Structure 1
Amino acid sequence: MAKLLRMAGRCWLADWRHAAGCASLLAATAQVCAAEPLNLYFFERPPYAVQRAGSDEVHGLSATPAAQAFKSAGIAFRWVGMPTMRQLVTLKNNGAPPACAVGWFKNPERELHFKFSKPIYRDKPTVALARADYTQASATLADTLRQPGLQVLIKDGFSYGPLIDQLLIQSKVERIVTSADSVPMIRMVAAQRAHFMFAAEEEAAYLVEQAGVPTTQLRTLRFTDLPHGERRHILCSKTVPDELIERLNKAITVEIP
C-alpha cells in the first residue's frame, strides 16, 4: 500500500491530461485503505481450516500458510467464517469491499471473476468414497465414469480440479448435485443415494468419522489417472489491487510443484 500511496501523492502534481489515470489510482488506494483489515473468508474444514476454540485464530493445511503470507506481507486481515458458496457470491460482487478467501482451486471460469495468489498447498491425489456394494470401479476414473447408470454425488459450485471437472463434463454420468456439506454427503452415499463422491485423501477418514457411518458401509477408491492433487490458492475479489496480490506472492515462500 505504501507504493500506492507514494504514487497517489505524485498524482496531485499531475496536469489535467493525467486526471483520469490519477483518479483510478486514487480510487484503488482508497479501496486498500478502506479494506484494512481485509476480510479473509474461511469455511471450517479439517484439516484445511480449523478455528481454535475460544480464539479468532484459524489454522490448517491451507489456513496456516495463508495467514503467514498475510502477516509476512504486512497486510492486516481478519478471519471471517462463511459457507463456501456464499464466499464466491460475496467476492464476485464488485461493489463489495476488497476481500479474499482461503484454499480455493483455480480454474478458467473462476479466473474470469477472481484474482489468485500463488499456490499455498497441494492436495494428495483425490479419492472417491463409495458405498460398500459398489464394486465395479475400474483402475482409472475415466473408465469408471463411462459405466452406464453410474451416479456421482457432486457439491454444487465446487471444483474438483481441472482433470476431474473435465472428465465429468465429457462423461454421461448422472451427477447428483447437492448444496450439502461433505459430512451429510457421506451419509447420502452410505444411504445409497449415489455410488460415490470425491474427497481429498487428507480429510477422507476424518469425514467418515464425523458422519458416524460404519466403515463397513463405505469403501475408498483410488484411481491411477489421478496421480497428483490440485493446488490450493488464496482467492480474492477483482477489487483487490494487483499490488496486494504481488505482496502476497512474494511472501509465499513455500514451493508447490
Structure 2
Amino acid sequence: MKLTPVLVFVALLPAAHDSAAEPIVLYYNERIPYLETQANGEVGGLTATPARLLFQRAGIAYVWKKAPAGTQVYLIRENREPACLVGWYKNPEREKLGKYTHPIYQGLKTVALTLAGNGKLGNEMTVADLLQKEGAVLLIKEMYSYGQTLDALIRRYQPHTAVATGENINMLHMLIYKRTDYFFIGEEEALELMRRSGYPLKDFKLIRFSEPLYEDPRHLWCSKQVPDSVIEKLDAAIDQAGH
C-alpha cells in the first residue's frame, strides 16, 4: 500500500461503536500541522484527522487527551491503560514497549531548519556534511526519534548537540536566540511552523539535502493493553482506505 502526504481517510464512513468497550485514549500534543485542537474542540491535522476517521470507521470508541511528548512515551512504557499515540515513527526499541498499527501517514522529505543569516550552513548539503560541520550545533528533542535512517546517522557522526524539552515552536525560538544552529524537521511542518511563527519568512532558510531523505511512515503507537483485536480492526480499516 502506498501512502501519500494527503489524508487517505476522507472517504471513510463511520461504523457503529461498541459501547461496551473501554474507549482507547488517543494522546496528543499540539504540533502543527499534524495535531491541533480546533475551534469545535475536535483534534485535526495531517495525522490527527486520519486517526479520528480510522477509529470511527473501525467502530472503536476513543477519547482525546493532551500530554507532552515525553509524558506520552512514559505512559506507553508504564502500560497502565489502553492508549495510542498518534503519528509516531516505528523503531525496534519502541516496538518492545508497545504495538504499532500499519502506517497512517507518509510525510514529505526531512529538511534542516536554520536562520537565513547563518553563514556556517549552505542551502543544499549532504546530511553527512551537515552533521560533521565544524562549529554547528544540532538541536535535538529529548526522547525523540527522527526516523531510523537519520537516528543512525546522528549516532554515527555524533555532532555537537543541544537538547530541547519543549515543542517545535520552542526549538524555533532557540534558533532565533542563536542558542543552536539547526534542527531536523519534516518539510510540511517546517513550512507551517515558519508561517505561524510571527517572524518574517525571510529570516529562515531550509536546507534541502542533495540526497533524498524521506520521512519514515507515521503510525499509531499503542500500549500493550490495547487488544490485538483492536489493532487488527484498525489495520483492516487502514488497508481498506489505501485501496
Normalised to the residue count of structure 1, the TM-score between the two structures is 0.80
Matched, 1:52 2:38: yes
Matched, 1:159 2:129: no
Offset at residue 186 of structure 1 (A) = 0.8
> Which SS does the other structure have where 1:194 is aligned?
coil
Matched, 1:71 2:56: yes
Q: Name 1:99's counterpart in structure 2.
A: 83
CA distance in 1: counterparts of 2:156 and 2:70, whole angstroms? 24
Percent of pairs with identical residues: 40
Unaligned 5+ segments in structure 2 are 1-17
Over 6 Å off, 4+ runs? 32-35
Q: Which amino acid aligns with 1:117?
A: T
- Quick one: which of 92, 96, 100 aligns to 1:108? 92
Q: Which amino acid aligns with 2:68?
A: P
- Quick one: which of 150, 156, 163 aligns to 1:170? 156
- Quick one: which of 104, 109, 118 aligns to 1:125? 109
The 10-residue stretch of structure 1 (235-244 or 225-234) with the greater mean CA deviation from structure 2: 225-234
- Quick one: which of 221, 243, 246 aligns to 2:207? 221
Offset at residue 222 of structure 1 (A) = 0.6
Q: Which amino acid aligns with 1:195?
A: D
> Which SS does the other structure have where 2:172 is aligned?
helix
Offset at residue 212 of structure 1 (A) = 2.4
Q: Which amino acid aligns with 1:108?
A: P
Alpha carbons 1:149, 1:173 under 8 Å: kept: no
Name the CA shift for 1:153/1:134 in 2 (closer, same or farther; >3 Å): farther
Alpha carbons 1:50, 1:60 under 8 Å: kept: yes
Q: Deviations over 1:112-170 (max 9, x none)?
A: 11110000001100111112223434621112212222210111111111111111100
Structure with greater helix share of residues = 1
The 10-residue stretch of structure 1 (233-242 or 143-152) with the greater mean CA deviation from structure 2: 143-152
RMSD between aligned residues: 2.0
Name the CA shift for 1:42/1:34 in 2 (closer, same or farther; >3 Å): farther
- Quick one: which of 210, 223, 229 aligns to 1:237? 223
Alpha carbons 2:108, 2:186 under 8 Å: kept: yes
Q: Deviations over 1:213-249 (max 9, x none)?
A: 3334321111123342221100100121111111110
Q: Name 1:25's counterpart in structure 2.
A: none
CA distance in 1: counterparts of 2:139 and 2:213, whole angstroms? 21
Q: Name 2:13's counterpart in structure 1.
A: none
Matched, 1:190 2:176: yes
Name the CA shift for 1:35/1:158 in 2 (closer, same or farther; >3 Å): farther
- Quick one: which of 114, 119, 122 aligns to 1:134? 119
Unaligned 5+ segments in structure 1 are 1-31
Offset at residue 35 of structure 1 (A) = 6.2
Offset at residue 207 of structure 1 (A) = 1.2
Alpha carbons 2:101, 2:219 under 8 Å: kept: yes
Offset at residue 34 of structure 1 (A) = 8.3
How many residues are matched? 223
Normalised to the residue count of structure 2, the TM-score between the two structures is 0.85
Alpha carbons 2:21, 2:61 under 8 Å: kept: no
